[in-house]
Amino acid sequence: MASSSIDHAFTARTPKGRSGDPTYAGALSFMRRKYSKNVAGADAVVWGIPFDAAVTNRPGARFGPQAIRRASAIFDCDPQYPFNRDLFDDLAVVDYGDCLLDSGNHQKTPAAIEREAAKILKSGAFLLTLGGDHFVTWPVLKAHAAIHGPMAMVQFDAHQDTWPDDGKRIDHGSFVARAVKDGIIDPDRSIQIGIRTHAPDDCGIKILYGHEVEEMRAADIAYAIAERTGGKKTYVTFDIDCLDPAYAPGTGTPVAGGPSSAKILSVLRQMTQIDVVGADIVEVAPAYDHADITAIAGSTVAMHYLGLLAEKKARDKA
């Protein structure tokens, strides 16, 4: 065991190092990271946004951050596969907790999310967001764009999220169209992977449809992503419904015909050449899950983000 204490989320003295908590007990922060509102010195900050009032089908993603944190407990204490390293030997990560939102006044939600995201990003840390429905990506994107300017976007999703938007909607199906229109993302450097629905407009974003992903190797998908983003600063957003419902039943708008978790995790593992400046995992709705299948997939996606970040830090240090 790494220590003789428990509840590492509260007892940890630093944002580095593994915990000794049993996988079945202890306070459930993301991967047992220390809960803290002090992000000074952190390489990455994990933050939950428990919001699902923008869904067009089944609600429940407000419980996504809890489910992802719970599922992440299984990662504790071991070198993380496939990175073969303890991610926290050198990577300082804190769990910032959740965004406080007024459940009775959703029109205030976007500004509240953007304001707190900007506060975290001001520290220089990488922000890993746990949703929530996919609308939460919109204000988080705005906070990143305020620092980096128009970004490339890599979107793993069954849906394009480019439906018409008047700029005021609270809607998880139109934020991409708004982000293109407002110059938050660069469509010529953006790509969507796993799309299995049709929207009226692709907004100029490259699409790898579900049937194409089925025929491609993971390495070829990763290459297509690197080619499209072209070295531009990139935000990665992962809607868990990108995966086939067999691998992610716990989501609000499941679509059959998607890729396996193994294939898409292999794609993420190979995204070493992408300049990722922020990332999220959204639309995990545990009420529809079975045996934590979806939560486990979501937490593994989030772990891969940190794994890539840990490798990058190691490379920069070498």
Binding-site residue numbers for Mn(2+) are 134, 157, 159, 161, 239, 241
Q: Are 259 and 242 in contact (CB under 8 A)?
A: yes
Which ranges constitute the DSSP H helices of the chain?
A: 8-11, 64-72, 109-121, 137-148, 175-181, 210-215, 218-229, 261-269, 293-317
DSSP annotation of 151 reads: B
- How many whole angstroms separate alpha carbon 50 and alpha carbon 52? 7
Q: Which of 53, 61, 47 is nearest to 98 (CA)?
A: 47
- How many whole angstroms separate alpha carbon 51 and alpha carbon 134? 9
Q: Which of 252, 110, 112 is nearest to 167 (CA)?
A: 110
Query: Is the C-alpha dihedral spanning 114, 115, 118, 119 positive or negative?
Result: negative
- How many whole angstroms separate alpha carbon 8 and alpha carbon 25? 11
Known binding-site positions:
134, 157, 159, 161, 239, 241
Q: Which two tokens stand for residue 155?
A: 């979107």
Q: Which two tokens stand for residue 6?
A: 């428990």
Q: Are 135 and 146 in contact (CB under 8 A)?
A: no
